[in-house]
Amino acid sequence: MKTFIRIILLCCCSALLMLTSACVKQPTTMEETVDLRPAISFTPLNETQAGSAYAVYVDGLAMGTADQYLTGVAALRVLSGSHVVELKLNGETVLQTKIYLGDGAVKALQIP
């Protein structure tokens, strides 16, 4: 009878150890991804210049307004390569430039 009780206790202890060992936090790894896509930003001539009035086009595609991509605040991420960047004010092109951007490059363009 004592042997039977010892076997039961041993089984219970083993089961308890198996259940609690599953709760142990497993080691994890953390990797940080760096965005190396080139970026374009815009710098106003002065503090009163409204960047929201200028529409931004990259390779003919509307990308928003210049105030969304101000230098030091935010940047427009693009793919590496050559791009035609246009700024339009009231539908009229006020700046058109062709630029080449490599990985990790940041180009700040002056708003006219």
Angle among Cα 28, 29, 35 to the nearest 5 degrees reads: 145
Contacts by 93-96, CB closer than 8 A, 24 or more apart = 94/54
Does residue 80 lie in a domain region? yes
C-alpha distance from residue 102 to each of 17, 20, 36, 58 (Å): 57, 53, 9, 16
Does residue 7 lie in a domain region? no
Does residue 76 lie in a domain region? yes
Does residue 44 lie in a domain region? yes
What digits encode the pLDDT tens for the residues 6-60? Answer: 777 777 767 766 666 655 677 778 888 888 999 999 999 888 777 788 999 999 9
What's the number of domains the chain is made of? 1
What digits encode the pLDDT tens for the residues 63-102? Answer: 999 999 999 999 999 999 999 999 999 999 999 999 999 9
Parent domain of 94: 39-110
Q: What is the CATH number of the domain that holds 97?
A: 2.60.40
Does residue 12 lie in a domain region? no
What distance separates the 2 farthest-apart alpha carbons in the chain?
98
Does residue 69 lie in a domain region? yes
